[in-house]
Structure 1
Amino acid sequence: MTGQFIVGAQLHPQQTSKAIRLRCVRSYVVTENRGQKQIRSQECVFHDQEGIFIHVHIPKDIVATYQNMFKEGKVYGIRNFLCITNFFKYKTSTHRYMIKFKHDTVVKQYQRVNFPKTMFRFKSFPDILSKKNVDEKVLIGKSLTGCIHI
Protein backbone atom coordinates (compact mmCIF):
# COMPACT_ATOMS: atom_id res chain seq x y z
CA MET A 1 0.00 0.00 0.00
CA THR A 2 1.41 3.37 -0.93
CA GLY A 3 0.49 6.81 0.33
CA GLN A 4 0.37 8.16 3.82
CA PHE A 5 -1.40 5.17 5.43
CA ILE A 6 -0.06 1.73 6.27
CA VAL A 7 -2.08 -1.38 7.11
CA GLY A 8 -1.71 -3.61 10.15
CA ALA A 9 0.52 -6.09 8.32
CA GLN A 10 3.06 -3.28 7.81
CA LEU A 11 3.07 -2.27 11.48
CA HIS A 12 6.64 -2.50 12.77
CA PRO A 13 8.74 -0.57 15.33
CA GLN A 14 10.89 0.86 12.54
CA GLN A 15 7.84 2.19 10.66
CA THR A 16 7.64 5.67 12.16
CA SER A 17 6.77 8.06 9.37
CA LYS A 18 3.37 6.77 8.24
CA ALA A 19 -0.13 6.96 9.67
CA ILE A 20 -2.64 4.15 10.03
CA ARG A 21 -6.41 4.21 9.46
CA LEU A 22 -8.44 2.05 11.85
CA ARG A 23 -12.02 1.36 12.96
CA CYS A 24 -12.62 1.34 16.73
CA VAL A 25 -14.07 -1.97 17.90
CA ARG A 26 -13.82 -1.41 21.66
CA SER A 27 -12.45 1.29 23.97
CA TYR A 28 -12.17 0.94 27.74
CA VAL A 29 -10.37 2.41 30.74
CA VAL A 30 -8.26 0.30 33.11
CA THR A 31 -8.18 1.45 36.74
CA GLU A 32 -5.33 0.96 39.20
CA ASN A 33 -7.31 -1.48 41.35
CA ARG A 34 -10.77 -2.99 41.09
CA GLY A 35 -13.37 -0.55 42.39
CA GLN A 36 -11.08 2.47 42.29
CA LYS A 37 -11.40 5.50 40.04
CA GLN A 38 -7.68 6.20 39.53
CA ILE A 39 -6.94 5.44 35.86
CA ARG A 40 -3.96 3.27 34.90
CA SER A 41 -4.48 3.39 31.12
CA GLN A 42 -6.98 3.47 28.29
CA GLU A 43 -7.02 0.44 26.01
CA CYS A 44 -8.62 0.22 22.57
CA VAL A 45 -9.12 -2.54 20.04
CA PHE A 46 -9.18 -1.48 16.39
CA HIS A 47 -9.19 -3.21 13.03
CA ASP A 48 -7.64 -2.07 9.78
CA GLN A 49 -9.11 -2.26 6.28
CA GLU A 50 -7.80 -5.83 5.86
CA GLY A 51 -9.55 -7.02 9.05
CA ILE A 52 -6.39 -7.23 11.16
CA PHE A 53 -7.09 -6.43 14.82
CA ILE A 54 -4.65 -4.10 16.57
CA HIS A 55 -4.46 -3.17 20.25
CA VAL A 56 -3.83 0.47 21.22
CA HIS A 57 -2.41 1.41 24.62
CA ILE A 58 -2.77 4.96 25.97
CA PRO A 59 -0.66 5.55 29.11
CA LYS A 60 -2.22 7.21 32.17
CA ASP A 61 -0.31 10.48 31.80
CA ILE A 62 -2.06 11.24 28.48
CA VAL A 63 -5.42 9.47 28.92
CA ALA A 64 -7.20 12.78 29.59
CA THR A 65 -6.37 13.92 26.05
CA TYR A 66 -8.01 10.89 24.40
CA GLN A 67 -10.47 9.55 27.00
CA ASN A 68 -13.72 10.62 25.32
CA MET A 69 -12.41 10.64 21.74
CA PHE A 70 -13.00 7.08 20.55
CA LYS A 71 -16.46 5.84 19.66
CA GLU A 72 -17.00 2.22 18.76
CA GLY A 73 -17.64 1.75 15.05
CA LYS A 74 -16.01 5.04 13.98
CA VAL A 75 -12.94 5.27 11.71
CA TYR A 76 -9.82 7.18 12.77
CA GLY A 77 -6.50 8.14 11.26
CA ILE A 78 -3.64 7.93 13.76
CA ARG A 79 -0.08 9.20 13.34
CA ASN A 80 2.96 9.95 15.53
CA PHE A 81 2.60 6.77 17.55
CA LEU A 82 5.01 4.18 18.88
CA CYS A 83 4.89 0.61 17.66
CA ILE A 84 5.83 -1.75 20.49
CA THR A 85 5.71 -5.49 21.16
CA ASN A 86 2.29 -6.67 22.33
CA PHE A 87 3.32 -7.26 25.93
CA PHE A 88 -0.01 -8.26 27.49
CA LYS A 89 -0.32 -11.80 28.83
CA TYR A 90 -3.98 -11.98 27.81
CA LYS A 91 -4.40 -10.34 24.44
CA THR A 92 -7.19 -8.59 22.59
CA SER A 93 -5.26 -9.05 19.34
CA THR A 94 -3.02 -11.76 17.96
CA HIS A 95 -0.87 -9.14 16.23
CA ARG A 96 2.79 -9.23 17.30
CA TYR A 97 2.84 -5.45 17.76
CA MET A 98 0.56 -2.89 19.33
CA ILE A 99 0.33 0.88 19.11
CA LYS A 100 1.29 3.06 22.06
CA PHE A 101 0.23 6.70 22.08
CA LYS A 102 2.66 9.43 23.04
CA HIS A 103 2.15 13.08 23.91
CA ASP A 104 2.14 14.22 20.26
CA THR A 105 0.02 11.43 18.75
CA VAL A 106 -2.51 12.92 16.34
CA VAL A 107 -5.96 11.39 15.86
CA LYS A 108 -8.46 12.42 13.19
CA GLN A 109 -11.96 10.97 12.85
CA TYR A 110 -13.15 10.23 9.31
CA GLN A 111 -16.84 10.70 8.51
CA ARG A 112 -17.21 9.40 4.96
CA VAL A 113 -14.73 6.69 4.24
CA ASN A 114 -15.16 3.38 2.46
CA PHE A 115 -13.93 1.09 5.20
CA PRO A 116 -14.97 -2.48 6.09
CA LYS A 117 -16.74 -3.25 9.34
CA THR A 118 -15.15 -6.29 10.98
CA MET A 119 -16.34 -5.89 14.54
CA PHE A 120 -16.18 -9.57 15.54
CA ARG A 121 -13.92 -12.59 15.08
CA PHE A 122 -16.28 -15.54 15.20
CA LYS A 123 -15.25 -19.04 16.22
CA SER A 124 -17.45 -22.10 15.97
CA PHE A 125 -18.55 -23.89 19.13
CA PRO A 126 -16.85 -27.15 18.01
CA ASP A 127 -13.53 -25.29 17.54
CA ILE A 128 -13.83 -23.72 20.96
CA LEU A 129 -14.76 -26.97 22.68
CA SER A 130 -11.96 -28.90 20.97
CA LYS A 131 -9.57 -25.93 21.32
CA LYS A 132 -8.70 -26.16 17.61
CA ASN A 133 -7.52 -22.88 16.10
CA VAL A 134 -8.11 -21.15 19.44
CA ASP A 135 -5.35 -19.27 21.26
CA GLU A 136 -6.20 -19.48 24.96
CA LYS A 137 -4.43 -16.20 25.65
CA VAL A 138 -6.69 -14.22 23.27
CA LEU A 139 -9.71 -12.85 25.09
CA ILE A 140 -13.16 -13.89 23.90
CA GLY A 141 -16.61 -12.78 24.89
CA LYS A 142 -20.17 -13.92 24.54
CA SER A 143 -22.68 -11.64 22.86
CA LEU A 144 -26.31 -11.28 23.88
CA THR A 145 -27.29 -13.61 21.02
CA GLY A 146 -25.19 -16.46 22.41
CA CYS A 147 -22.54 -16.36 19.67
CA ILE A 148 -18.99 -16.43 20.92
CA HIS A 149 -16.65 -13.90 19.38
CA ILE A 150 -13.02 -13.01 19.98
Structure 2
Amino acid sequence: MSEVFTPLCDVDPMSERIKVKARCVSIWRSHAPGKPTPVRSLDCVIQDEQGNRIQCTIRKDGMPKYEGLLQEGVCYRISNFGVGENGGKYPLLKHKYKIVFYKNTALTRIDSFDQNNKGLLMVYLQDFYELWPEKF
Protein backbone atom coordinates (compact mmCIF):
# COMPACT_ATOMS: atom_id res chain seq x y z
CA MET A 1 0.00 0.00 0.00
CA SER A 2 1.47 3.35 -1.03
CA GLU A 3 1.58 6.39 1.21
CA VAL A 4 -0.86 9.23 0.70
CA PHE A 5 0.75 12.66 0.57
CA THR A 6 -1.03 16.00 0.80
CA PRO A 7 -0.19 18.52 -1.93
CA LEU A 8 1.39 21.65 -0.43
CA CYS A 9 -1.42 23.80 -1.84
CA ASP A 10 -3.86 21.87 0.42
CA VAL A 11 -1.90 22.27 3.67
CA ASP A 12 -3.98 24.14 6.25
CA PRO A 13 -4.47 24.18 10.06
CA MET A 14 -7.65 22.07 9.85
CA SER A 15 -5.83 19.11 8.28
CA GLU A 16 -4.97 16.26 10.62
CA ARG A 17 -2.11 13.77 10.42
CA ILE A 18 -0.97 14.84 7.00
CA LYS A 19 2.30 13.93 5.33
CA VAL A 20 3.99 15.88 2.59
CA LYS A 21 6.64 14.88 0.06
CA ALA A 22 8.76 17.78 -1.09
CA ARG A 23 12.20 19.03 -2.08
CA CYS A 24 13.99 21.67 -0.03
CA VAL A 25 14.77 24.49 -2.46
CA SER A 26 16.15 27.15 -0.10
CA ILE A 27 17.42 27.38 3.51
CA TRP A 28 18.29 30.41 5.65
CA ARG A 29 18.56 31.56 9.26
CA SER A 30 16.19 34.26 10.50
CA HIS A 31 17.14 37.09 12.83
CA ALA A 32 15.31 39.94 14.51
CA PRO A 33 15.25 43.01 12.22
CA GLY A 34 18.54 44.87 12.48
CA LYS A 35 20.10 42.30 14.83
CA PRO A 36 22.27 39.64 13.15
CA THR A 37 22.51 37.69 16.43
CA PRO A 38 20.96 35.72 17.96
CA VAL A 39 19.41 33.45 15.35
CA ARG A 40 15.63 33.10 15.88
CA SER A 41 14.89 30.22 13.55
CA LEU A 42 15.98 28.06 10.66
CA ASP A 43 13.66 28.55 7.70
CA CYS A 44 13.27 26.89 4.34
CA VAL A 45 11.07 26.73 1.28
CA ILE A 46 9.92 23.31 0.09
CA GLN A 47 8.34 22.40 -3.25
CA ASP A 48 6.24 19.36 -4.13
CA GLU A 49 6.03 17.44 -7.41
CA GLN A 50 3.35 19.80 -8.77
CA GLY A 51 5.48 22.91 -8.13
CA ASN A 52 3.50 24.10 -5.08
CA ARG A 53 5.64 25.83 -2.47
CA ILE A 54 5.35 26.54 1.23
CA GLN A 55 7.67 28.02 3.85
CA CYS A 56 8.80 25.94 6.84
CA THR A 57 10.05 27.29 10.17
CA ILE A 58 12.16 25.47 12.73
CA ARG A 59 12.35 27.40 15.98
CA LYS A 60 15.68 27.93 17.74
CA ASP A 61 15.18 25.06 20.22
CA GLY A 62 14.60 22.57 17.36
CA MET A 63 17.47 23.74 15.17
CA PRO A 64 20.14 21.29 16.47
CA LYS A 65 17.97 18.31 15.54
CA TYR A 66 17.17 19.38 11.96
CA GLU A 67 20.12 21.60 10.94
CA GLY A 68 22.32 18.67 9.91
CA LEU A 69 19.50 16.80 8.16
CA LEU A 70 18.06 19.56 5.98
CA GLN A 71 19.85 20.22 2.68
CA GLU A 72 18.93 22.19 -0.42
CA GLY A 73 18.05 20.01 -3.42
CA VAL A 74 17.17 16.96 -1.31
CA CYS A 75 13.68 15.39 -1.15
CA TYR A 76 11.95 14.57 2.13
CA ARG A 77 8.85 13.00 3.63
CA ILE A 78 7.65 15.31 6.42
CA SER A 79 5.00 14.48 9.03
CA ASN A 80 3.92 15.44 12.58
CA PHE A 81 4.17 19.18 12.03
CA GLY A 82 2.07 22.21 12.82
CA VAL A 83 0.53 24.68 10.40
CA GLY A 84 0.42 28.39 11.16
CA GLU A 85 -0.43 31.67 9.46
CA ASN A 86 2.14 32.91 6.95
CA GLY A 87 1.92 36.43 8.27
CA GLY A 88 4.26 39.32 8.64
CA LYS A 89 4.63 42.53 6.73
CA TYR A 90 6.41 40.93 3.77
CA PRO A 91 5.52 37.24 3.44
CA LEU A 92 7.94 35.31 1.26
CA LEU A 93 5.29 33.25 -0.53
CA LYS A 94 1.65 33.75 -1.48
CA HIS A 95 0.65 30.59 0.45
CA LYS A 96 -1.68 31.53 3.31
CA TYR A 97 0.03 29.12 5.72
CA LYS A 98 3.46 27.83 6.67
CA ILE A 99 4.69 24.59 8.21
CA VAL A 100 6.10 24.76 11.73
CA PHE A 101 8.39 21.94 12.85
CA TYR A 102 7.86 20.47 16.32
CA LYS A 103 10.35 18.44 18.35
CA ASN A 104 8.63 15.26 17.12
CA THR A 105 8.37 16.29 13.45
CA ALA A 106 9.58 13.44 11.26
CA LEU A 107 11.94 14.53 8.48
CA THR A 108 12.96 11.55 6.36
CA ARG A 109 15.21 11.76 3.32
CA ILE A 110 13.69 10.03 0.26
CA ASP A 111 14.72 9.38 -3.34
CA SER A 112 14.37 12.31 -5.70
CA PHE A 113 10.97 12.45 -7.39
CA ASP A 114 12.17 14.44 -10.42
CA GLN A 115 15.28 15.98 -11.97
CA ASN A 116 14.44 19.56 -10.91
CA ASN A 117 17.06 19.68 -8.13
CA LYS A 118 17.07 23.47 -7.88
CA GLY A 119 13.27 23.78 -7.66
CA LEU A 120 13.04 26.00 -10.73
CA LEU A 121 9.57 27.18 -11.67
CA MET A 122 8.83 27.98 -15.27
CA VAL A 123 6.06 30.56 -15.55
CA TYR A 124 4.69 32.71 -18.30
CA LEU A 125 5.52 36.38 -17.96
CA GLN A 126 1.81 37.24 -17.76
CA ASP A 127 1.40 34.88 -14.78
CA PHE A 128 4.31 36.60 -13.06
CA TYR A 129 2.60 40.01 -13.43
CA GLU A 130 -0.64 38.59 -12.03
CA LEU A 131 1.11 37.12 -8.97
CA TRP A 132 2.92 40.31 -8.01
CA PRO A 133 1.18 43.29 -9.70
CA GLU A 134 2.39 45.69 -6.98
CA LYS A 135 6.00 45.19 -8.13
CA PHE A 136 5.35 46.72 -11.57
Alpha carbons of structure 1 residues 100 and 17: separation in structure 2 relative to 1, 3 Å = same
Residue by residue over 1:62-103, the C-alpha shift from the partner in whole angstroms, topping out at 9 and shown as x without a partner, is 112112221111101110001112113222221111101111
**1:24 counterpart residue number:** 24
Which residues in structure 2 correspond to 1:69-108 (within 5 Å)?
Answer: 69-108=69-108
Q: TM-score, normalised by structure 2?
A: 0.81
Shift of 1:33: 5.5
Asked which structure has the greater RCO (Cα within 8 Å, sep 6+), the reply is 2
Give the counterpart letter for 1:88 in structure 2.
G
Query: 2: CA distance between counterparts of 1:6 and 1:86?
Result: 18
State the match for 1:115 in structure 2: 114
Structure-1-length-normalised TM-score: 0.74
- Matched to 2:4, the amino acid is Q
Structure 2 segments unaligned to the other structure (5+ residues): none
- Hey, what's the Cα distance between the residues in 2 that align with 1:116 and 1:84? 30
Identify which of 111, 132, 136 aligns with 1:135: 132
For the residue of structure 2 that corresponds to 1:62, the secondary structure is helix
Give the whole-Å Cα distance in 2 for the aligned partners of 1:67 and 1:33. 22
Which residue does 1:49 correspond to in 2?
49
**1:122, distance to aligned residue in structure 2 (A):** 5.4
| Superposition RMSD in Å | 2.7
Seq. identity, %? 23
Question: Which stretch shifts more, 100-109 or 34-43?
Answer: 34-43
| Contact 1:49–1:116 (8 Å) recurs in 2 | no
For 2:8, give the aligned amino acid. Answer: G
Aligned equivalents of 2:133, 2:61: Cα separation in 1: 31
- Poorly superposed stretches of 4+, deviation over 6 Å: none
What count of residue pairs does the alignment treat as equivalent?
133
